[in-house]
Chain A
Amino acid sequence: MKMGKTKLALAASLAVSFGAGAASAEDTIKVGILHSLSGTMAISETTLKDVMLMLIDEQNKKGGLLGKKLEAVVVDPASNWPLFAEKAKQLLEVDKVAATFGCWTSVSRKSVLPVFEHDNGILFYPVQYEGEESSRNVFYTGAAPNQQAIPAVDYLMNEEGVKRWVLEGTDYVYPRTTNKILEAYLKMKGVPAEDIMVNYTPFGFSDWQTEVGNIKKFGSAGKKTAVVSTVNGDANVPFYKELGNQGVKATDIPVVAFSVGEEELAGLDTKPLVGHLAAWNYFMSIDTPENKAFIAQWHKFIKNDKRTTNDPMEAHYIGFNMWVKAVEKAGTTDPDAVIDAMIGVTVPNLTGGYSAMMPNHHITKPVLIGEIQADGQLDTVWQTSGLVPGDEWSDYLDGSKDLISDWRKPLSCGNFNTKTGKCGGETVATQ
């Protein structure tokens, strides 16, 4: 009898495993998370790892995807750019993930790009960046320059009447390319060269006395002056502290930042900074039911109701939901099928509208300009009336204004030159 029971169980289990067939080898769908959990960038990227875990957890509670559970594979590239490529290779070749969400700095994205193109993976990149790139294997859910920098400059020009510009940035690829685009744009708008001051500082710069002094001097020439800041990461806190202490008030010289969000402001006393600006596609203060639900979910997940939400988190929220929808549409996680299914997918964003994936692998977003408040939040003072589609090849740079990207068949090209009618090649070369 005893023997019989065991046999029965064995037979049953055999039947189950045969019934599951091929699926038994992969009864979960693996999702890679490629964010630095140590080193300089941990300060920003750890939050994105957490938000991805939350989204995956939520999706599993809803019953998973294609009848399977999602499984997060977290790796730590430790803010080390070559390590990003190695970890990406591990995710794609060893763990065989269906999609990867990751990277923050442009240099880390550039480092993993050849890996994703070689192994035909899918990467969702959630951070605002300098554009001038479009890969078949990457979906850019952060803002392109025309979804952040250009509208911000327009706002300052029209609403604040700014005539003189300081372009202050950290010395690496994102600020340099963005400032190049902005300089070309400003000159096109008739701003003379002597009214533009460009200055770069190293990563993690902490002694801003000279720079802020120069900004004050530049701003006292009798014309309304503003600072466009692409200062990145840790350098922002000392920069804003110096601005506050040297008495640079937002009503005199406003500073608009592209890398300062709720998370960066959390380390600062914002009372002296009220009125300085930030341009993003999402603010935590947005008053929509979707956003309130998202914030409540985040606080519950992270077990700390003081934690802030920010723009790249929303980008992951949009990107993840788009991927889920595309997989459901394609009925498989096969990269080629999903990449084709992604284009045209539309999901709700957190600002009360819908974002769509476009043929150039960028998405449509509203552009918001916010002013820093005394409580560390950003309050929307202006927003675009509709959604702005991301433009990967800037219209203001020579050599890039004739290029377009369209990953639909039959064009399937990331840098199609409309003048010569030729595709520049499969992998996009950028300066």
Chain B
Amino acid sequence: MRKFLITCALVLFAALAANPAGADALDDILAGFASSKYDEIEKTIAALAASGDVSAPAILDALNAGSLQVAGDNKLYIKGDDGSLKEARSGAGAPGENPPGLKPVKVNNRVRRAIEAAMGQLTLLSPDPAKRRTAAASLFHAPDPAQLPVVEAAIAKESDPDVKHAFEAARAAIILATPDAADADKIAAIDLIAARGDEDAKSLLDGAAASGSPAVAAAAHGALEGLERTLAMWSAAQNVYYGLSLGSVLLLAAIGLAITFGVMGVINMAHGEMVMLGAYTTYVVQQAVMAAAPGLVDFALLIAVPAAFVVSGAAGIAIERSIIRFLYGRPLETLLATFGLSLVLQQAMRSIFGPTNLQVDNPSWMSGSMALGGLAITYNRFWIILFSIAIFALLTLVLRKTALGLQMRAVTQNRRMAASMGIRTGWVDSLTFGLGSGVAGIAGVALSQIDNVSPNLGQSYIIDSFMVVVFGGVGNLWGTLVGALSLGVANKLLEPVAGAVLGKIVVLVLLVLFIQRRPRGLFPVKGRAVES
């Protein structure tokens, strides 16, 4: 009873402090959130936005985040990240115990859209320029003729040129959406929107071209022609970028194989599993970092790179010492043994980590995308392109400039001569295989960002990897680079035309024809070593 009285007093006090005059009216509006019907909640949002109450943005933010709760008495609370409750209107702390009947306000996509539109209205005059720009963008996407005077007032007041530009675009979109706007205004709006040169502009102009007076339609058609040309150009550029991105993934997957298969000549069917080990290492490292130092979780990937190299490299050395070294010169047996090994490794991972996918989070610097002109560049793919090039450069350096690289090349070119020069060939074999496997592990770190982390991860890349190495020319790292990138680009240029399934078939057929003509690939290794 006492608790109840205190609660009542608190509530009363909070209500008085917040908005003494209109308290009841707003409470009536907010009571609508208790409904389990989405249209009721949608109406409530519109009414709340129209009331312009100071607490409205915070309430809508909470609703969007799913943390707005309604109690049995229709009172609203906001649940903090730590689970504490705050009164939605006043921001005052709630009573210690949870009020009876507390449940989250229901949200679906329709409600989320209503929130977005309402926030657009409410934050149009926010002091924060980023918020104003978001508001302008949401008005641009959902142009409402009733908002025209407000937007014009906002344009007049705006000092930030970028935000002003966004507002002008929103104004143009609203004018196009107003049926009785003057033709001259509409044509001006069309010019302004066409200058954006993106898909959104096209969709607005499509609408303008279909309706409106002949003069407006003609202007829209004219603008569309130019716009479509620009868009087609960007879309071609986008396809090339997609191709480079796919190529970089192929390069990463294949580059380890370029060493074990290309340089050493071992048909290693367990190569994909080395990639998988790298991905699982990433998972383990991320979990460990999350447990030990949650603040560093964005950098867990950077720790995972050396860890994956060590884990996969060590596994590679162990495999070479225990299996492969007994099978040199017997490619069929190697193929079968490593294929069996790949199944063993897959099932081992399944037994240890379970058969389901593991969640490896994208760090914040690898999430989302940026617009570069008309290109949409996703950060994770972008970093992977850079990463694969860096790995390639590093590996080339190791092979060309270090003593180990020199010994590797010596052993693979002429084993007996190298041995008689005092090189421990068995030891070099192990290290070479370890290096190739370790690089595959590093590829696993990158692939964990775009693919499933599951026991089957490696399987899906093994065929592609062999394809790249054979196409590029066995024993040639540069061939692997060119092979991966050209296969990626060819695939992605074919995909919009032929579809993903047919596109892949066409690429395979072309590859077979190419290998028929040039069995040694793009960049065949020349010299006596090849003949023997």
Instruction: Please measure, in the bound complex, the distance between the C-alpha atom of A200 and the C-alpha atom of B505, giving whole angstroms.
Output: 14
Residues of chain A within 8 A (CB-CB) of B413 are none
Instruction: Please measure, in the bound complex, the distance between the C-alpha atom of A242 and the C-alpha atom of B242, giving whole angstroms.
Output: 12
Residues of chain A within 8 A (CB-CB) of B452 are 234, 237-238, 267
Sample (28) of A-B pairs whose CB atoms are under 8 Å apart: A38-B346, A39-B456, A40-B456, A43-B357, A46-B354, A160-B110, A199-B499, A199-B500, A200-B500, A201-B501, A204-B460, A210-B492, A210-B496, A210-B500, A213-B242, A220-B203, A234-B456, A237-B357, A238-B450, A241-B362, A245-B367, A245-B368, A245-B369, A250-B109, A264-B357, A269-B362, A371-B109, A374-B66
The 10 closest A-B pairs by CB, nearest first: A267-B357, A220-B199, A245-B378, A46-B355, A222-B203, A201-B500, A209-B242, A381-B108, A220-B203, A42-B355
Q: Judge if A90 is at the interface, Cβ distance under 8 Å.
A: no
Asked if B378 contacts A242 (CB within 8 A), the reply is: yes
Other-chain contact of A244, B245, B356, B367, B451 (Cβ < 8 Å)? B367
Give the distance to chain A from B137, nearest Cβ to Cβ, in Å: 12
Give the distance to chain B from A137, nearest Cβ to Cβ, in Å: 29
Asked if A246 contacts B453 (CB within 8 A), the reply is: no
Interface size of B by CB at 8 A reads 60
Q: Judge if B321 is at the interface, Cβ distance under 8 Å.
A: no
Asked if B245 contacts A209 (CB within 8 A), the reply is: yes
Asked if A160 contacts B109 (CB within 8 A), the reply is: yes
Instruction: Please measure, in the bound complex, the distance between the C-alpha atom of A335 and the C-alpha atom of B66, giving whole angstroms.
Output: 51
Contacts A202-B500, A220-B202 given: A38-B350 contact, CB under 8 Å? yes
Nearest A residue to B205 via CB reads A222
Q: Judge if A17 is at the interface, Cβ distance under 8 Å.
A: no
Give the distance to chain B from A176, nearest Cβ to Cβ, in Å: 12
Instruction: Please measure, in the bound complex, the distance between the C-alpha atom of A171 and the C-alpha atom of B503, giving whole angstroms.
Output: 13
Residues of chain A within 8 A (CB-CB) of B112 are 250-251, 275
Nearest A residue to B461 via CB reads A206
Asked if B460 contacts A246 (CB within 8 A), the reply is: no
Asked if B451 contacts A42 (CB within 8 A), the reply is: no
A-B contact sample (13 more), CB < 8 A, given A213-B376, A241-B380: A38-B346, A42-B355, A204-B456, A207-B245, A207-B249, A207-B492, A210-B242, A221-B203, A238-B452, A244-B367, A247-B376, A266-B359, A267-B453
Please list the residues of chain B having a beta carbon within 8 angstroms of any beta carbon in chain A. Answer: 38, 66, 106, 108-110, 112-113, 116, 141, 199-200, 202-204, 206-207, 235, 238-239, 242, 245-246, 249, 343, 346-347, 350, 354-359, 361-362, 367-369, 376, 378-381, 450-456, 459-460, 492, 495-496, 499-501, 504
Other-chain contact of B355, A43, A222, A246 (Cβ < 8 Å)? A43
Instruction: Please measure, in the bound complex, the distance between the C-alpha atom of A303 and the C-alpha atom of B110, giving whole angstroms.
Output: 39
Nearest A residue to B358 via CB reads A267
Residues of chain A within 8 A (CB-CB) of B238 are 213
Asked if B355 contacts A207 (CB within 8 A), the reply is: no
Instruction: Please measure, in the bound complex, the distance between the C-alpha atom of A252 and the C-alpha atom of B460, giving whole angstroms.
Output: 32
Asked if A171 contacts B492 (CB within 8 A), the reply is: no
Instruction: Please measure, in the bound complex, the distance between the C-alpha atom of A244 and the C-alpha atom of B141, giving whole angstroms.
Output: 19
Asked if B361 contacts A269 (CB within 8 A), the reply is: yes
Asked if A214 contacts B246 (CB within 8 A), the reply is: no
Please list the residues of chain A having a beta carbon within 8 angstroms of any beta carbon in chain B. Answer: 37-40, 42-43, 46-47, 159-160, 171, 199-202, 204-207, 209-211, 213-214, 216-217, 220-222, 234, 237-238, 241-242, 244-247, 250-252, 254, 263-264, 266-269, 272, 274-275, 371, 373-374, 381
Q: Among the interface residues B343, B369, B501, which one has the most CB atoms of the partner chain A within 10 A?
A: B501
Residues of chain A within 8 A (CB-CB) of B451 are 206, 237-238
Instruction: Please measure, in the bound complex, the distance between the C-alpha atom of A269 and the C-alpha atom of B362, giving whole angstroms.
Output: 8
Residues of chain B within 8 A (CB-CB) of A199 are 499-500
Other-chain contact of A373, B66, B242, B496 (Cβ < 8 Å)? B66
Other-chain contact of A210, B204, B239, B354, B453 (Cβ < 8 Å)? B239
Other-chain contact of A216, B199, B206, B450 (Cβ < 8 Å)? B199
Residues of chain A within 8 A (CB-CB) of B358 are 267
Nearest A residue to B494 via CB reads A210
Other-chain contact of A222, B66, B204, B350, B379 (Cβ < 8 Å)? B204
Other-chain contact of B109, A221, A242, A251 (Cβ < 8 Å)? A251
Asked if A171 contacts B109 (CB within 8 A), the reply is: no
Residues of chain A within 8 A (CB-CB) of B379 are 245
Nearest B residue to A247 via CB reads B369
Residues of chain A within 8 A (CB-CB) of B456 are 39-40, 43, 204, 234
Residues of chain B within 8 A (CB-CB) of A245 are 362, 367-369, 378-381
Give the distance to chain A from B400, nearest Cβ to Cβ, in Å: 31
Instruction: Please measure, in the bound complex, the distance between the C-alpha atom of A209 and the C-alpha atom of B106, giving whole angstroms.
Output: 33
Nearest B residue to A276 via CB reads B109
Asked if B357 contacts A266 (CB within 8 A), the reply is: yes
Asked if A206 contacts B450 (CB within 8 A), the reply is: yes
Residues of chain B within 8 A (CB-CB) of A371 are 108-109
Asked if B356 contacts A207 (CB within 8 A), the reply is: no
Nearest B residue to A369 via CB reads B108
Instruction: Please measure, in the bound complex, the distance between the C-alpha atom of A237 and the C-alpha atom of B380, giving whole angstroms.
Output: 14
Instruction: Please measure, in the bound complex, the distance between the C-alpha atom of A264 and the C-alpha atom of B452, giving whole angstroms.
Output: 10
